[in-house]
């Protein structure tokens, strides 16, 4: 959904005018935050120590993230309008590296002389804004689990959910849209994911009512525009799709390419826009970009992500067994 949306958003091509009607990058990211709440809390609860938990999270997110950063620097060297020596010596290039290494992509999202004539923005990898939120989730989860143990699970999660919605509503009321995209505004999605993890057997047992609540909540949001209904509707729908459909047990044979697609697709689209191919042949370009991103993501999984995960000193259990034990 994010890749398809960026075809439309970054190019402005009329042929993709229908895309916002059927998919939304915002909705996809919110769904990702729901899954994060379920799986990150599961990861912490099934770790023997805080350090083992941090190691597992670092091994999952950092290798591909660093590879994506190196990938964008290589793109910068190849496609910048500056002389290569000037590009490498520019303080702006190293400010980009520093801001991205520290997960603060928004501080300096551009590289000198790169994508400056692209139609919408010259950001090199605009998708990375969510990574800092994911990192913050990583450090928030232990605190959330601690409070759940002291004050009760559903009471804590309900409190986080309501406070998150209040904060988000205030931000939107005063037109602070950028703050409404950050924490703690996104904790409403995260808290419902954590709720489903903690009450997984009950969730599965009452699966049909949850489907109904999810669909009616999102329909209510469409009529009322109340964020309360949006968060509940999207969160429960994602959890229902992920956990109530028949589960194919066992490892994914070909690999897990979702993260690689997410961190690599944006700069590839920007390249096609910068050289003018996308505007001449938008549909063909979209197809070629999809193939390139698939290949890069395949390579990222097998050469970068998987080796680091296999090298973990203590591997976490499979999601299915985690849910069974919950």
CA-wise closest residue to 171 among 182, 187, 159: 182
Alpha-carbon gap, residue 129 to 100, rounded angstroms? 10
Give the pLDDT of residue 312.
60
What are the CA-CA distances from residue 265 to residues 45, 63, 106, 258, 289 (Å)? 33, 16, 18, 11, 8
130 contacts 2 by C-beta, under 8 angstroms: no
Kindly list the distances between the CA atom of residue 320 and the CA atoms of 42, 166, 256, in Å, as whole numbers in the listed order. Answer: 11, 34, 16
Question: What average pLDDT does the chain have?
Answer: 90
Which residue numbers in the chain have pLDDT < 50? 313-326
> How far is C-alpha 84 from the geometric centre of its chain's CA atoms?
32
Q: What is the pLDDT of residue 209?
A: 95
Q: What is the pLDDT at residue 145?
A: 97
> Do 68 and 125 contact (CB within 8 A), yes or no?
yes
Instruction: Please spell the DSSP secondary structure of 156-195, one letter per residue.
Output: HHHHHHHHHHHHHHHHHHTT-TTGGGSTTTTHHHHHHHHH
CB atoms within 10 A of CB 22: 9
Dump pLDDT digits (tens) for 130-178. Answer: 999 999 999 999 999 999 999 999 999 999 999 999 999 898 888 888 8
pLDDT at 181: 81
pTM: 0.89
Nearest alpha carbon to residue 77 among 62, 89, 63: 89
pLDDT, position 118: 94
What pLDDT was estimated at residue 322?
43
Q: Which residues make Cβ contacts (< 8 Å) with residue 208, sequence separation at least 6? A: none
């Amino acid at each position: 959904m994010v890749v398809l949306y960026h075809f439309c958003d970054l190019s402005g091509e009329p042929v993709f005018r229908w895309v916002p009607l059927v998919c939304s990058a915002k909705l996809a990211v919110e769904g990702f935050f729901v899954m994060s709440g379920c799986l990150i809390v599961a990861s912490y609860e099934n770790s023997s120590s805080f350090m083992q938990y941090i190691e597992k999270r670092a091994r999952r997110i950092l290798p591909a993230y660093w590879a994506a950063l190196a990938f964008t620097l290589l793109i910068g060297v190849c496609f910048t309008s500056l002389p290569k020596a000037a590009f490498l010596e520019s303080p702006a290039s190293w400010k980009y590296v520093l801001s991205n290494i520290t997960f603060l992509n928004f501080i300096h999202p551009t590289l000198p002389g790169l994508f400056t004539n692209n139609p919408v923005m010259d950001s090199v990898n605009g998708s990375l804004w969510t990574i800092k939120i994911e990192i913050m989730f990583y450090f928030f989860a232990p605190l959330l689990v601690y409070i759940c143990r002291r004050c009760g699970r559903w009471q804590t999660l309900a409190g986080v959910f309501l406070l998150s919605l209040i904060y988000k509503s205030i931000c939107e009321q005063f037109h602070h849209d950028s703050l409404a995209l950050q924490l703690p505004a996104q904790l409403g999605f995260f808290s419902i994911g954590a709720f489903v993890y903690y009450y997984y057997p009950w969730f599965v047992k009452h699966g049909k009512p949850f489907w109904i609540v999810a669909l009616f909540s999102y329909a209510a949001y469409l009529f009322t525009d109340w964020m309360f209904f949006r968060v509940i509707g999207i969160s429960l729908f994602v959890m229902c799709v992920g956990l109530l459909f028949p589960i194919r047990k066992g490892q994914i044979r070909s690999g897990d390419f979702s993260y690689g697609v997410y961190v690599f697709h944006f700069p590839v689209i920007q390249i096609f826009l910068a050289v003018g191919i996308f505007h001449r042949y938008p549909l063909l370009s979209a197809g070629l970009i999809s193939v390139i991103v698939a290949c890069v993501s395949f390579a990222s999984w097998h050469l970068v992500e998987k080796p680091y995960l296999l090298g973990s000193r203590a591997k976490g259990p499979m999601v299915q067994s985690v849910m069974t034990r919950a």
